[in-house]
Amino acid sequence: MIFDLDKDKALNETYKLMAQTIIPRPIAWVVTEDEGVVNIAPFSYFIGLSSEPASVLISVGHKPDGTPKDTLANIRKHQKCTICMVQESDLEKMHFSSKGVDKEVSEAEIFNIETETLVEGYPPMIKGVPSAYFCELNQEIDLGGGSTIPLVLNVKQIFVDDEVITDKKRLTISFDPIARIGKSYAFLGEEIEAPKIP
Ligand SMILES: Cc1cc2nc3c(=O)[nH]c(=O)nc-3n(C[C@H](O)[C@H](O)[C@H](O)COP(=O)(O)O)c2cc1C
């Protein structure tokens, strides 16, 4: 079966197709701030773009009323965000934080998500996460319309919890991440070594 996306513009169907075929997707648990309100939300249109310069991309959409999601509005206004990596034990809190709430309401408060300021000048990090990226907006990508806006972010500092660094000399990191599959989640399970190329 072929889905012609130019003919069938029903965004919902396209989302369903992409979300169930590009799998597993990593999850950026994004913290932003505005007027003292800490905003937290997960985004799975998330990918590492480059290590040099260190950069990632998230795509953030609009609310049902047509206004930008709070994360998008806050990044546009302050040019900064903190991206937390999600581990298995945070699944529930991360998922709850996707609830659409008013801009003046902090997901950190309503869902008891503890945060701490680690790097001055950036939004706080969610307590207990294995890793967090402190990012500055590089640019918005114009895809020629549409409601979801890709944001290129430069990564300025990376926090890694000492607990998940299993070998300091070789800088080996290991934690239990969560992936998004369609509208569900998956744990990664077994890690398999790369085969040797002959
Ligand atoms: C795991 C997960 C991944 C999500 N990924 C995205 C995404 O990539 N882009 C997006 O616009 N919304 C995504 N959402 C929905 C947002 O998290 C949701 O709209 C949230 O309320 C936005 O919050 P904000 O207005 O505080 O930014 C995702 C939700 C979940 C649960």
Q: How far is Cα 128 from Cα 194, in angstroms, rounded to an integer?
A: 30
Q: Which of 196, 189, 184, 198 is nearest to 25 (CA)?
A: 184
Ligand 1: residue of 43, 67, 94, 183 to mutate (most ligand atoms within 8 A of CB) is 43
Q: Write down all domains in the chain, each with its CATH number in brackets.
A: 11-182 (2.30.110.10)
Segment holding 121, helix H or strand E: none
Q: What is the average per-residue pLDDT within 165-187?
A: 96
Tens-digit pLDDT profile for residues 46-93: 999 999 999 999 999 999 999 999 999 999 999 999 999 999 999 999
pLDDT digits (tens, 9 = 90+) for 104-122: 999 999 999 999 999 999 9
In the chain, % of residues over pLDDT 70: 97
Cα(8) to centroid of ligand 1, in Å? 24
Per mean pLDDT, which range of 11-20, 32-41, 171-180 is the poorest?
11-20
